[in-house]
Chains A and B, each alone.
Chain A
Amino acid sequence: GQQVMQIPQYQHVQEGEDFTTYCNSSTTLSNIQWYKQRPGGHPVFLIQLVKSGEVKKQKRLTFQFGEAKKNSSLHITATQTTDVGTYFCAAYSSASKIIFGSGTRLSIRP
């Protein structure tokens, strides 16, 4: 079945450094979604990408969808302590079933 691979599993950065997490699929995706989960919290939807090569920005966060629609990335510029959490990508494998990547846990040294 369809799998969504996400790397790295963990990332520990100094506050102010950049952070990137990558999501890869062996099959073409119709869309991809990104979620953030704070420690002890629940996943919260961030954004959805649909078009080939699409780039969207939310303040310091930049989301990209690959040209072949098989990969995606989330880049955070100049991390802050509020960025701590686990970031998940997710893609629909069929009409209603969503597959989540295993997540990238971001921790930050103040």
Chain B
Amino acid sequence: DAGITQSPRHKVTETGTPVTLRCHQTENHRYMYWYRQDPGHGLRLIHYSYGVKDTDKGEVSDGYSVSRSKTEDFLLTLESATSSQTSVYFCAISGGGDQPQHFGDGTRLSIL
């Protein structure tokens, strides 16, 4: 498997608290992605990055922000978590804009 590490793997927090998820890669890939996966919705793109400090929104970006200060790290922040953001979050990387994506193991986030 590609060198992708997501942290934490599990998190339980309360509504209104800030939450940051981290994705770390050792592949030096240019593209990094954050998805959320919910039953019946498949994988939905939240934000993605096409280089250091270069990011763009996906289809479900409201309530989320991202940062990429170096190639290997892509952070996803929920500024004020809501129960609707309870989900499994996957990070993915790819070497090119239309190349296959390689996924991390996911973070299971529960917001009470």
Contact = CB atoms under 8 A, between A and B. Distances in A.
Interface of A: 1, 6, 9, 30-31, 33, 41-45, 48, 88, 90, 92, 95-103
Given A30-B98, A96-B97, A101-B42, A42 B31 contact: no
Interface residues of B: mostly helix, strand, loop or mixed?
strand
A31 B96 CA distance: 14
Contacts of A30: 98
A100 B33 CA distance: 13
B100 A45 contact: yes
B31 A96 contact: yes
A42 B106 contact: yes
15 contacts: A1-B59, A30-B98, A33-B100, A42-B105, A43-B90, A45-B102, A48-B100, A88-B43, A92-B98, A96-B97, A97-B45, A97-B48, A100-B35, A100-B44, A101-B42
Contacts of A97: 45, 48, 56, 58
A24 to B, nearest CB: 14
Interface string B28-63: 000101010000111111001010000010110000
A19 B56 CA distance: 37
B45 A42 contact: no
A96 B102 contact: no
A44 B98 CA distance: 16
Q: Give the interface residue-count category, chain B.
A: 20 to 34
Task: Kindly list the 3 A-B residue pairs having the minimum CB-CB distance in the complex, ordered from nearest.
Answer: A96-B97, A102-B42, A45-B100
Interface residues of A: mostly helix, strand, loop or mixed?
loop
A96 B43 contact: no
Nearest to B99: A48
A90 B35 CA distance: 13
A44 B2 CA distance: 10
A96 B29 CA distance: 13
Given A42-B105, A48-B100, A96 B48 contact: yes
B110 interface: no
A52 B61 CA distance: 33
